[in-house]
Amino acid sequence: MPADSKPNPLYENLDTTFVNLWSLLRNLSQREFIGRVHVESKDYSADIFLNGSSTPLVHEIDRAAGTDTIEAGALHRVVLRARETPGTISVHEGAHEASPHQDSTDAIPATVDVSSDTSAQPTKPDCFEPAALLPESGPPLYVDQPSPATQINEDIYPTGSYQDWPAILSTSGELIGAVERAINASGENFNSLLGATRLELADDYSFLDPIVNAFEYEHGVATLRQEVPVRVFVAALSETLRRIVNRVAVADRARRVRERVALEMLTVARARADVLDRSGFQSQLDRIAGTRVM
């Protein structure tokens, strides 16, 4: 499909040096925007089709690699490109822009690779930064069973490191639940505070953003649908809980709230000491509560 086949774009040639692509996409999604976002840089272009789905289709053309692909939920590669390589962003509005299948002659196959190696597929970034972490489609990655060692990304778990994601997520759910009980006991609405705080941190830790459907928490259970380095996951969740506690622990009730949070977390700390220590959560407990937990 031609890069700019439709006239009168809503925004045209926005400089990626000044425009945060991920923030733009989140804003458009919140506005229930229907249309196409086109990214263009040297030897690379991408079209993101926004049609109301939580996993938009992405059409990428990498002229240097000789690949032409389309898949759902591949936003992380486009955002990383936009962050690292100068280019432009254009936004085209309308239902006719929201699908790669314009008509029978312009339809794009589900996956096309024009290189000599037809099995080649786009690779994930070699390194992950918080603002570049966007979800892949599919079921939660780390919930019930640990991934085999051969499937674990070295960027997430370097060889020899702690590889028990199910334990980490289970413990994370218990830790969030502990703070939830303390906050609700103070008369506040934990779920409301969690949602607001996640949005505050979404630019730095995009997997927290509710609209990307990468991380979920409910009734003491945490799930994750995205590959996230442990250190990033721990930092993001710890900062989220710290901010929630700080919002509630104010004025005359500050000490009471912090002590209740510490008391609730102490139960988790004693039962899950090994997981907390090896994942990095242990060193964050006092910071979350704002007082000593152990």
> Of 125 and 13, which is predicted with more confidence?
13
Least confident window among 185-194, 202-211, 285-294:
202-211
The answer on pLDDT for 3 being more than 70 is no
Judged by DSSP in three states, 105 sits in coil
In a domain, residue 171? The reply is: yes
Residue 141 is predicted with a pLDDT of 36
Pair 182, 240 in one domain: yes
Pair 153, 279 in one domain: yes
Reference 177, options 259, 169, 277; nearest CA is 169
Domain boundary among 123, 140, 157: 123
- Domain count along the chain: 2
Pair 154, 273 in one domain: yes
CA dihedral 144, 172, 294, 264 (to 10 degrees): -100
In a domain, residue 129? The reply is: no
Reference 217, options 246, 190, 243, 244; nearest CA is 190
For residues 57 and 49, the answer to whether their CB atoms sit within 8 Å is: yes
Residue 31 is predicted with a pLDDT of 84
Share of the chain above pLDDT 70, in %: 74
Mean pLDDT of the chain: 77
For residues 69 and 111, the answer to whether their CB atoms sit within 8 Å is: yes
- Residue-by-residue DSSP string for 137-204: SSS-SSSSSPPPGGGS-TTTS-TTS---HHHHHHHHHHHHHHHHHHHHHTT--HHHHHHHHHHHHTTT
Pair 17, 97 in one domain: yes
Ramachandran assignment for 272, one of left (phi > 0), alpha (psi -120 to 50 degrees), beta (any other): alpha
Judged by DSSP in three states, 65 sits in coil
Reference 40, options 93, 96, 78; nearest CA is 78
> Of 255 and 163, which is predicted with more confidence?
255
Residue 156 is predicted with a pLDDT of 42
Model confidence over 133-163: pLDDT tens digits? Answer: 333 333 333 333 333 333 334 444 443 445 5
In a domain, residue 135? The reply is: no
In a domain, residue 136? The reply is: no
Pair 211, 257 in one domain: yes
In a domain, residue 132? The reply is: no
First and final CA of the chain: distance in angstroms?
Answer: 60
Pair 91, 38 in one domain: yes
φ and ψ of 176, to 5 deg: -60, -40
Residue 8 is predicted with a pLDDT of 66
Domain boundary among 123, 139, 161: 123
Pair 197, 95 in one domain: no
Residue 81 — pLDDT band, cuts 50, 70, 90? confident
In a domain, residue 228? The reply is: yes
Pair 177, 103 in one domain: no
Residue 110 is predicted with a pLDDT of 39
Angle between helices 165-185 and 190-201 (to 10 degrees): 120
In a domain, residue 158? The reply is: yes
Pair 167, 273 in one domain: yes
The answer on pLDDT for 247 being more than 90 is yes
Pair 155, 281 in one domain: yes
Question: What range defines the domain where residue 256 resides?
Answer: 149-289
Residue 225 is predicted with a pLDDT of 86
> What is the C-alpha to C-alpha distance for residues 169 and 221, in angstroms, rounded to an integer?
8
Residue 227 is predicted with a pLDDT of 81
In a domain, residue 140? The reply is: no
Pair 84, 169 in one domain: no
